[in-house]
Structure 1
Amino acid sequence: MSSPFNRRKFISSAAIIGTGLAVGVPHIVSAGTPTARPAILGGPKAHSGTFPSWPVEEAIEENGLTEVLRSKKWGRLDGVRMAKFETAYSKLLGVKHSLGVSSGTSALTTILGALDIGPGDEVVIPVYTFVATYNVVVLNYALPILVDTDIESFQIDAAKAKAALTAQTKVIMPVHIGGSPVDLDAFVAMGKQHNIPVVEDACQAHLAEWKGVKVGNYGLAGAFSFQSSKNLNCAEGGAVTTNSDDFITNCYTFHNQGQGGRSTSFSTGVGTRGTNLRLTEFQGSLLLSQMTRVVEQSNRRWENAQYLSRLLQEIPGITPAKLYPGTTKSAYHLYMFRYDKSRFAGLSREKFLRALSAEGVPNSAGYGQMNKSAYVTALATNKHYLKIYGEKTMKEWLERNQCPQNDVLTSTQSVWFFQNMLLGTKNDMEQIAEAIGKIQKYAAEIARK
């Protein structure tokens, strides 16, 4: 269906709006014709088409996989594609070294393994993140310190992260949630001041930039994921990035069973710990193929997200996630915004999301309260943790993990759209805004439904 938005009028208004709220600019989000009703109330869908599917695949992927199959060199130890990918990925990010590993979780595991993190150590992480960030700390029997969220950005609160540091803190591990950079200036300064390595969990942040430099360059190391939903994907895979010659050597050794060279042997390795987290040539081939279009896709997401933000900022009660001033580009793996039901006649977020789905706009409420989940709180009574830290310390750990701002964000406000939606057209973005405008106009009636 055609959108009722006047794009020329919007662009003229957007020049005044910029990235903030406009004063005195007419409300431009239209619900369509005056009689248009939300789809959940029997009206037509605002978005009747489909958003681009994911992943994108063409002949280049098929041909590359066939070449690997016929080469009979399927693993990185006797193949060439993983090395080619690592070189290409390093160039793409402007980083000195990249190491392909079997997942984003494996990238974090490799980094913590190379840093020899273990029992008695503390690792500072955000509470608003995928559980893998927590899991890699716990697998090392270290203590994950969950830090509250900056509710405006959805990112880890840098001031609260600094307050959480102790003499036992061995790693600061902020996550670029949704593909938008954390306040990297604050975290880099924090790490230098306290002589603690900063590890960027950039698993969602391919090609995101802080002050014109790609993320994954700022900490001692960065971790990326190539899982199937990610903006660069090969079904399962990941990468470690670093500008340190010594650290990449340690990472390679750790992920290759302690073997420091480019092959395995029948002898033991170096160091005291290692495992097998290698990536295959098949995935290396897929990544090289996917990289042929990753820059164009990244640019399209960024442009569409900026346009969508300007549209949504015109709807009272909808607040796009803040980007920190140093952000020159977000990867927009997720498009995140806050929903204020008081501007929607008290319509609950759950009913708002259902109404959005009925309009043909996929969505999610996003992450929950990890610090309060049984999965996490049970760590306080885990027999191994009690043996290492004692009952008193584990009770104190539960108390340290209170995150009131995250409670507010996750219980009533947070809403996500997905990266493939941002690969659509400007008309798609307009129809998303139209859908929300319709819901707001009829919010009281939807609430009674």
Structure 2
Amino acid sequence: MTSTLALHGGTAALADVPALPRWPQGGQEEEQALVDVLRSGAWGSTHGEVVRNFEGEFAQFQQTKHAVALANGTLALAASLRATGVGVGDEVIVPPYTFIATASAALFVGAIPVFADVDEHTHLLDPAATEAAITERTKAIIPVHLAGNVADMDAFQAIGERHQVAIIEDAAQAVGAQWQGRGVGALGDVGTFSFQTSKNLSAGEGGIVTTDDDALAAALYSLVNVGRVPGGGWYQHDSVGYNLRLTEFQAAILRVQLRQLPELQRQRAANDALLRDLLSDVEGVQIATPDPRVTSHGHHLFIFRVPELGSQGKRDAAVEALAAEGVPGASPGYVPLHRNEAVANESRALAERLGQPLPQAACPSADRVSSDTIWLPQFSLLGSDEQTEAIATAITKVAGATDAL
């Protein structure tokens, strides 16, 4: 194969291999599940049992006592913050290298997101930076299990206990992941998951919150169900809550996909290992080794760094070159949230209205990784050995062509 980049007229690395699987995937099982709900006439969770059954199955899968399904992962975070007592003027520590929802959920409940830096080897929230950011106004910390990897939950559990703050796991990208044999979402006070289109478990949209705490589970139920209580009357609203309910149609798809998830996770894990091996000797490509306490990785993304490309401002050009080589979905990933003007402006306005200081974030590691990291989506790990080898060839080709980008 020619070493000339496809971007410049060379042969694409994936030119002669079948297209990778599309995502999301659906088949006859999902179709029948939807038809069953359609014909039942019970389309909403207040009249059906599909959402309730899915909640029980998901709780068992993630090894938690309770699971409360709801509209999406963003509102799962907001509901979790409210359920744990976070409110106006409180501070919530979050990583800057994450989706905007991790920070905006705090703003939704009147709290201020405070950024603590990430570990540049893992892209995950740094426990030491987190503890240094705690003030008397800190009420919660949201470690994000990015890309299916798991944050250091031993450290965050200890910090939560030491400072009496809630630990809310943002596991939107980590369904199926485990820390020392225990499912994520069962390690902090609560855990939140997303079922948006790109996620490993998808219904187009949707989310769920997990917890082992009976009182938090009851609070979450009420927040999702307009203040109702389990077993209470239709017009019995014992608290002020949202209407965040998941539909029976979404839960029907999710129940089928949850049964399929273990086999898909096995495929992703095998292809992740193969891709790591094929790229292990490629100069300039850095792939973090997961903490050995991560006993099951969620494999939502395959992420790697190419620092030389970052230092030369060529990372985005490399992403474009990978797309030309036929690698679908390659992405430069997040712009760090401590540099997001919308979040900064909203946080500043809230702090000024409350008459309290706005913590200033210094997150050099997040700045570095956001300049040289490249993502591949999870469906790129669902191909054959031949397809995975072609992806490795594409990455090798682009990483070795720095001067041509």
1:304 aligns with 2:285: no
Give the equivalent residue in structure 2 for 1:361: 327
- Residue of structure 1 equivalent to 2:68: 99
The answer to whether the Cα contact below 8 Å between 1:366 and 1:410 also exists between their aligned partners in 2 is yes
Q: Is the 8 A contact 2:279 2:396 kept in 1?
A: no
Distance, in Å, in 1 between the alignment partners of 2:355 and 2:231 is: 39
* C-alpha RMSD of the superposition: 1.8
| Shift >4 Å, 4+ stretches | none
Q: Structure 2 residue aligned with 1:270, among 233, 238, 241? A: 238
Once the two structures are TM-superposed, the CA of residue 40 in structure 1 deviates from its matched residue by 2.0
The secondary structure found in structure 2 opposite 1:405 is helix
In the TM superposition, 1:13-412 aligns within 5 A as: 32=1, 35-48=2-15, 49-262=18-231, 265-267=234-236, 269-271=237-239, 273-341=240-308, 348-362=314-328, 363-382=330-349, 384-390=350-356, 393-394=357-358, 397=359, 400-411=360-371
| Higher-Rg member (1/2) | 1
Equivalent pair of 2:138/2:165 in contact (CA under 8 Å): yes
Is the CA contact (8 Å cut-off) linking 1:113 and 1:274 kept in structure 2? Answer: no
- Greater CA deviation, 179-188 or 313-322? 313-322
Aligned residues: 402
Residue 428 (structure 1) shift: 1.7
Query: Cα offset for 1:62?
Result: 0.9
CA contact (8 A) 1:182 1:324 kept: no
- Deviations 1:251-281 (CA, angstroms, capped at 9, x unpaired): 10121111112566234x224x311111111
Q: Assess if the C-alpha contact under 8 Å between 2:72 and 2:207 holds in 1.
A: yes
Give the direction of change, closer, same or farther, for the CA distance of 1:262–1:431 in structure 2 (3 Å limit): farther
In the alignment, the residues of structure 2 paired with residue 274 and residue 308 of structure 1 have an alpha-carbon distance, to the nearest angstrom, of: 46
Any idea what SS the aligned residue of 1:149 has?
coil
Going from structure 1 to structure 2, the CA distance change for 1:409 and 1:70 (only over 3 Å counts) comes to same
8 Å Cα contact 1:256-1:264 kept in structure 2: no
Tell me the residue number matched to 1:3: none
Name the counterpart of 1:12: none
Per the alignment, residue 380 of structure 2 pairs with: 421
Gaps of 5+ in 1: 1-31
- Equivalent position SS for 1:427: helix
Using a 3 Å threshold, how does the CA distance of structure 1 residues 381 and 121 change in structure 2: closer, same or farther? Answer: closer
1:439 partnered with 2:398: yes
SS for the counterpart of 1:286 is helix
Gaps of 5+ in 2: none
Q: Distance in 2 between matches of 1:82 and 1:201?
A: 21
Are the aligned partners of 2:107 and 2:347 in contact in 1 as well (CA < 8 Å)? no
SS where residue 141 of structure 1 aligns? coil
Cα distance change, pair 343–378 in 1 and its aligned pair in 2 (3 A): closer
Q: Letter of the aligned partner of 1:128 in structure 2?
A: Y
Letter in 2 for 1:300: Q
Q: For the structure 1 residues 37 and 347, does the alpha-carbon distance in structure 2 shift closer, same or farther, using more than 3 Å as the test?
A: farther
Question: 2:174 touches 2:298 (CA, 8 Å); kept in 1?
Answer: yes
- TM-superposition CA deviations, 1:192-219 (whole Å, max 9, x none): 1222121101011000111121111100
CA contact (8 A) 1:260 1:270 kept: yes
User: Kindly tell me: are residues 121 and 441 of structure 1, through their superposed partners in 2, closer, same or farther at Cα, counting changes over 3 Å?
Assistant: closer
CA contact (8 A) 2:104 2:343 kept: no
* Separation in 2, partners of 1:373, 1:311: 36
Q: Percent identity?
A: 36
CA distance in 1, matches of 2:246, 2:257: 16
